[in-house]
Amino acid sequence: MPYIAPELRTALDPHIDALAAALTAAAGDIEGDAAFAGLLNYACTRLALGTLPDRRYWAIATTSGVFANIADEFYRRYATPYEDEQIAKNGDVY
């Protein structure tokens, strides 16, 4: 999880909230339940490209690692509880 100082969160959160709202609104204009996925991918890619310090191996490897960590942490913190709820609701497969 990205544990950053509270004052940094305070500075960044309004911008992140505005971007999330814009992506949600744009997704509403596109047909399909997963319309947000392409928009989220685009926004994250642009954000990464806009913050990369240099086009060098170490920066690319670090950024790729951040995206991998984001995916792992998102699944652990957000998806796993959902999976547990569905197991309790519907029964386990195994």
Asked whether residue 94 carries a pLDDT value surpassing 90, the answer given is: no
Q: Please answer whether residues 38 and 23 qualify as being in contact, where contact means their C-beta atoms are separated by less than 8 angstroms.
A: no
Residue 2: per-residue pLDDT? 74
**Domain map of the chain by residue range?**
1-51, 54-94
Instruction: Give the residue carrying structure tokens 């497969």.
Output: 93
66 — pLDDT class (breaks 50, 70, 90): very high
pTM for the model: 0.84
Neighbours of 5 (CB within 10 A): 8
**What sign for the dihedral angle of Cα 7, 62, 60, 20?**
negative
